[in-house]
Structure 1
Amino acid sequence: MSNTDSNQTSAQPSIEAVKKAAAEGLISSTAAENINAWLTEDRYALYRDEVIAHIQDGKWQKLDDVYWTIIPFGTGGRRGRMYPIGSNAINDRTIGESAQGLADYVVQYHGGKKDLSCAIAYDTRHKSRHFTELCAGIMVAAGIKVYLLDDYRATPQLSFAVRHKNCDCGIMVTASHNPPSDNAVKVYWSSGAQVLPPHDIAIIDKVMSCQQIKATPFDEAVAAGMVEVVTDEIDQAYFDAASKCSFDGPRDVKVLYSPLHGVGAAAVIPLAEKVGFKDIEVYGPHSEPNGDFPNVPGHVSNPENSVLFEAPIKHAQQTGANLVLATDPDCDRIGVAAPMTLDPAGDWRTFNGNEIGAILAEYVLSKRSAAGTLTPDSYIIKTLVTTELTRRIAESYNVRCEGDLLVGFKHIADVMDRVGADDFVYGTEESHGYLVGQYCRDKDGAVASMLMCELAAQLKADGKSMHDYLCDLHRKHGYHRETLINLIMEGSEGMAAMQRLMKSFRTTPPESLAGVKIAKIRDYSIATTTTVSTGQSEKLEGPDGNLIIMDLDEPGNYVAVRPSGTEPKIKLYVFTRLSPDQSVDLDQATATLKVRMEELEKDVRAYAKVNC
């Protein structure tokens, strides 16, 4: 009798119980299929007893949650809730498969190349260090040397380390801004960017077909010299490289900074001090590295959420700070708040990701223009769901904007390497990610924070608020207002609802939104633009992806729809704009677009409720 047959015999009562649960609707058919695999296949032998215990205890809802699908690779790697068992959970098996698949592909791709290497770093989340040691052991067992950042370090530092050490790949153990329950691995290629085609598909094939996970015990790998700690080396080299992205100017500004219980203090503070900033306070209640994110509202350290700035702003008002910055747990994204006037004790407001992107675009391009370092080949990069205000700012400096990109900073990195990094000026995406320079190939919260400090100091010297700075951009280029609507759809039922809603947008889209007719629909999955009034379609130039954009019959107003690649939700990006002539009176323009935005959000939510 084979091991598989023996396993099936010993697990037969559980197999029968799973079959009955599926028939009674307690679990989905896909969950039943995946549970049976974990009960009978040799590769899951270590987890069989715990699966059986869950079945015997009747934990069907939990079993359905963690087995209804196989956790995928998305825009940021493999990410999800941690649980000891399950194909749809982050655990030793799914993390191990991810690392093993990467190792197998790297070895195969390089065809016998010696001296293969991988850089690995981790953040403050629960089990990040454990998963790091597991990944390191798997790499070493495959003959791949590991360069380890052996302390909490930022994702951009991992990207930098891959390039600095000439590694063949990299792994960052982090779930970015997700809740404390989650963890993940982000997988990087030799460029320092997250993996792209054809490597991503090939790695996924290796992950999905992984049978045996081979790992060298971590301590043995260290003792053998196959895991080399390079934390100090990378720190010094990273700060030297990143500081070269700084611009000269005033440094007299008081800044309050929150790492949101993540890794950021080890990157943001040393870099800011290196370029001359002396008055930066780390916000005490958020300073402790802690995967529970205890003092953050909702325990979600996402700098997109303005509510997490409420307490730091109160502290800033009391201490006279001119700027509040926050970075997410792996410090690749930033959030920003500033006083509405020059009085720190007065009212404050946060900026959304599109606003920060536009502000930084203007600052970087203005400094580069003044220095005479822009050329006819200079360009910036943004994604399709990032504000067109950024494009218009670039065009005002006669700089090209590469903007037909899907969501994910890896696509920005890809353009840098295809078009040429020497002419790259700035990259931005609406989800609070920004990059300047060539030192890495991922968004960098530390460098973005440095640039925001520089701008705040310059504006303070000029007697101008950061909000006035943004208002000037709106008057010049037309008032732009955007919002993001997240429709959460968890579990197997949620996935089905997401698929129904995306199909509805494609086949029976709304005729109008906010009283404005939809003129055209861009469907990037089939590369077509359809004119709604005639039903005629034409070829759409651009990337191939699960993205729909509905252009309203008023230029600059549109809604983009896509399923998230890292979380169980559909994202709807709403864009509105008025012309410069309509934006002279900015108060009136703000009121006009506020009403339009509310109506658009009401209509798209109503459509989604009916069609999902």
Structure 2
Amino acid sequence: MNATDALAAAKQASSDGKLSETAVENIQCWLTEDRYAQYRDQVAAEIAEEKWQALDDAFWTIIPFGTGGRRGRMYPIGSNAINDRTIGESAQGLADYVVEYHKGQKDLSCVIAYDTRHKSRHFAELCAGIMVAAGFKVYFLDDYRATPQLSYAVRYKNCDCGIMVTASHNPPSDNAVKVYWSSGAQVLPPHDKAIIDGVMSCEEIRVAPFDQALAEGKVEIITKEIDEAFLKVTAEQAFKGSRDVRILYTPLHGVGAEAVMPLLAADGFSEVEVYGPHEEKSGDFPNVPGHVSNPENKAVFEAPIEHAKANGFDLILATDPDCDRLGVAAPKTLDASGEWGTFNGNQIGALLADYILGKRKEAGTLSADHYVVKTLVTTELIRSLCDSYGVQCISDLLVGFKYIAEAMDANGPDKFVFGTEESHGYLVGQYCRDKDGAVACMLLSELAAELKQRGVSMHDHLAELYRTHGLHQEYLINLVMEGSEGMAAMQRLMKAFRETPPKSMAGIPVTRVRDYLNSVATDTASGEQSPLDGPVGNLIIMDLAEEGNYVAARPSGTEPKIKLYVFTKLGADESQDLDAAAAKLGQRLEALESDMRTFAKENS
């Protein structure tokens, strides 16, 4: 089938309801424009085979830059898929913008790293060739390495930008590029928009052969250099104390062992075992439930917990495939053979915040000028902890660790203590500007050893924090909405939250709606609107009549889903009987979830 006939067939398929109009528009570009010439036959062949659903998925939109870069399902063709063209456009758009931004500057440089996913090495070499062709010196991590190592390497080598090839904790079908600025943080406004403009207008992708660039010294391998420097600087974040704890670590088939194991050893932990069934580096993530290596998912801990119970481990640590997120499980009591439980991202953040602030206070290195950073959808227990230690809590941030990095630099990194977000991301120190699963593993291990020495389980320690600061419970609802129909449903639902929000949830009146996209807060009783200070982004928060209880909604920046966040709280006086408090909030969470799901079903 030639291009003309293929386009006619695609248009007919759209008339028959088999392809969206936007898919036909993008298919037309790939069939007729010179920049897509090498893919023309492949597109035509799939049209000839009437692969309408696959074509609609691959072409219904142009894959966007989200909170973490450009991420999606891999497919050989398509504007809404990860492939050589969309990855190439991303690298070319970055290269062109950096060249323009530093107009006249020579010696531009870029660091590139990659994880264990399918085609990650291929995409990394492709990006390297594009950056070299644009005049950059490329520093290349020549093996599977962690995202925080890439962030650190950008700063360590004083580079102008960086590229990490990873889709983090997404399914095996996905891949992505995360794009970093010279700060070591993922790109922020106005750079992100300018790069997107460059990507969208990219005509020609210029690529230097990787092997030739390597032979000519235009690509330099720095794996060993970064490994050594990263280990040194992360080990400097340690606190003194007991190291008597048995740790089971799972990299969930990702890159984490190369960062976590040396760091734990350097910090004095001698009894650490890598969980064998998850040790293989594989983009298929074969031995985790559903083949999704996400430490937020309790199911990934089920098999490791059985191994830990049988072999006397005190703690289980899990990092996602690119080792920037941490998940944790521990025994409910000091008996490792008894019942175990996992911790969610907010709970880990609170445990780490209290530990780090406590250690800093002991050392006399805290002042009223020091600060902790969290996002708008991260537990307010962090704020209460900051208040108790007399430090600031900066929290008026959109979702995405790049905003925490921005706050670090805006407020002075010398006074930065800790950054945390509910999706299991944590950072201390100044060495990088992204979340670091390795350093979080080290600090959590230190806390576990200290608690073991005191004869307290980690779960009991968290319970004590709740009695002191009030019980905080949060819940995340993921509403998956794939494809063009899903995008339309997401837009309808967010519109409904803005214009016709629920009057009450779980029997508690909704008193205010905070719309961060339009920077307006609406009093639901009077309908009066007032300016809303804060960041601008597609986030809505609905405050309930009971203080500290609220719900939030936002489309994910990395996956085809809407995330609904539910926050509940009781005061310290109501939290002394923790079982009764937990039962009360548990019922409230269930009711809030039910009401949110019902509203979403009716309005999407």
Q: Secondary structure at the match of 1:574?
A: strand
Q: Does 1:54 align with 2:49?
A: no
- 2:483 corresponds to: 491
Stretches of structure 2 lacking an aligned partner (at least 5 in a row): none
Q: Which amino acid in 1 is paired with 2:210?
A: F
C-alpha distance in structure 2 between counterparts of 1:88 and 1:15, whole Å: 18
Q: Does 1:244 align with 2:249?
A: no
C-alpha distance in structure 1 between counterparts of 2:569 and 2:256, whole Å: 35
Following superposition, the deviation at residue 242 of structure 1 comes to: 0.6
Describe how 1:546-585 pairs up with structure 2 within 5 A.
Answer: 546-585=538-577
Describe how 1:170-569 pairs up with structure 2 within 5 A.
Answer: 170-569=162-561
Q: Which amino acid in 1 is paired with 2:172?
A: P
- 1:14 corresponds to: 6
C-alpha distance in structure 1 between counterparts of 2:29 and 2:519, whole Å: 38
C-alpha distance in structure 2 between counterparts of 1:115 and 1:335, whole Å: 40
C-alpha distance in structure 1 between counterparts of 2:95 and 2:524, whole Å: 48
Q: Which amino acid in 1 is paired with 2:554?
A: R
Of 131, 137, 142, the match for 1:139? 131
Q: Secondary structure at the match of 2:328?
A: strand
C-alpha distance in structure 2 between counterparts of 1:348 and 1:292, whole Å: 28
Q: Secondary structure at the match of 1:246?
A: coil
Q: Secondary structure at the match of 1:289?
A: coil
C-alpha distance in structure 2 between counterparts of 1:27 and 1:346, whole Å: 55
What TM-score do you get using the length of structure 1 for normalisation? Answer: 0.98
- 1:101 corresponds to: 93
Q: Is this contact kept in 1: 2:67–2:399, CA < 8 A?
A: yes
Q: Which amino acid in 2 is paired with 1:361?
A: A
The sequence identity of aligned pairs, in percent, is: 69
Q: Which amino acid in 2 is paired with 1:335?
A: G
Q: Secondary structure at the match of 2:318?
A: strand
Describe how 1:88-127 pairs up with structure 2 within 5 A.
Answer: 88-127=80-119
Q: Deviations over 1:33-62 (max 9, x none)?
A: 000100000000110110010011111111
- 2:155 corresponds to: 163
C-alpha distance in structure 2 between counterparts of 1:106 and 1:506, whole Å: 37
C-alpha distance in structure 1 between counterparts of 2:29 and 2:194, whole Å: 23
- 2:22 corresponds to: 30
Q: Deviations over 1:51-100 (max 9, x none)?
A: 01001111111111100000000000000000000000000000000000
Of 600, 604, 612, the match for 2:596? 604
Aligned length: 604
Q: Which amino acid in 2 is paired with 1:372?
A: G
Of 584, 590, 593, the match for 1:592? 584
Following superposition, the deviation at residue 539 of structure 1 comes to: 1.1
Q: Which amino acid in 2 is paired with 1:284?
A: G
Following superposition, the deviation at residue 375 of structure 1 comes to: 1.4
Q: Deviations over 1:217-271 (max 9, x none)?
A: 0001101100000000001111111111000000111000000000000000000
Q: Which amino acid in 2 is paired with 1:386?
A: T
C-alpha distance in structure 2 between counterparts of 1:585 and 1:74, whole Å: 43
Q: Is this contact kept in 1: 2:2–2:44, CA < 8 A?
A: no
Q: Secondary structure at the match of 2:390?
A: coil
RMSD: 0.7
C-alpha distance in structure 2 between counterparts of 1:528 and 1:93, whole Å: 40
Q: Deviations over 1:394-444 (max 9, x none)?
A: 110000000000000000000001110000000000000000000000000
Following superposition, the deviation at residue 529 of structure 1 comes to: 1.1
C-alpha distance in structure 2 between counterparts of 1:289 and 1:12, whole Å: 45
Q: Which amino acid in 2 is paired with 1:114?
A: K
Q: Which amino acid in 2 is paired with 1:590?
A: A
Following superposition, the deviation at residue 19 of structure 1 comes to: 1.2
Q: Deviations over 1:436-460 (max 9, x none)?
A: 0000000000000000110011011
Q: Deviations over 1:76-128 (max 9, x none)?
A: 00000000000000000000000000000011000021110000000000000
Q: Deviations over 1:201-228 (max 9, x none)?
A: 0000000000000000000110110000
Q: Secondary structure at the match of 2:372?
A: strand
Q: Secondary structure at the match of 1:187?
A: strand
C-alpha distance in structure 2 between counterparts of 1:131 and 1:204, whole Å: 19
C-alpha distance in structure 2 between counterparts of 1:69 and 1:522, whole Å: 29
Q: Which amino acid in 1 is paired with 2:118?
A: H
C-alpha distance in structure 2 between counterparts of 1:86 and 1:11, whole Å: 15
Following superposition, the deviation at residue 571 of structure 1 comes to: 0.3
Q: Which amino acid in 2 is paired with 1:188?
A: Y
Q: Deviations over 1:313-343 (max 9, x none)?
A: 0000011000000000000000000000000
Q: Which amino acid in 2 is paired with 1:536?
A: E
Q: Which amino acid in 1 is paired with 2:136?
A: I
Q: Secondary structure at the match of 1:497?
A: helix
Q: Deviations over 1:338-368 (max 9, x none)?
A: 0000000000000000000000000000000
C-alpha distance in structure 2 between counterparts of 1:68 and 1:295, whole Å: 33
Q: Is this contact kept in 1: 2:334–2:456, CA < 8 A?
A: yes
C-alpha distance in structure 2 between counterparts of 1:22 and 1:324, whole Å: 51
Q: Is this contact kept in 1: 2:172–2:285, CA < 8 A?
A: yes
Larger deviation, residues 525-534 vs 204-213: 525-534
Q: Secondary structure at the match of 2:551?
A: strand
C-alpha distance in structure 2 between counterparts of 1:15 and 1:480, whole Å: 56
C-alpha distance in structure 2 between counterparts of 1:242 and 1:136, whole Å: 27
Following superposition, the deviation at residue 537 of structure 1 comes to: 1.1
Q: Does 1:67 align with 2:79?
A: no
- 1:3 corresponds to: none
C-alpha distance in structure 1 between counterparts of 2:408 and 2:185, whole Å: 10
C-alpha distance in structure 1 between counterparts of 2:507 and 2:267, whole Å: 51
Following superposition, the deviation at residue 10 of structure 1 comes to: 4.9
C-alpha distance in structure 2 between counterparts of 1:579 and 1:57, whole Å: 62
Q: Secondary structure at the match of 1:12?
A: helix
Larger deviation, residues 83-92 vs 521-530: 521-530
Q: Which amino acid in 1 is paired with 2:24?
A: A
Q: Is this contact kept in 1: 2:113–2:164, CA < 8 A?
A: yes
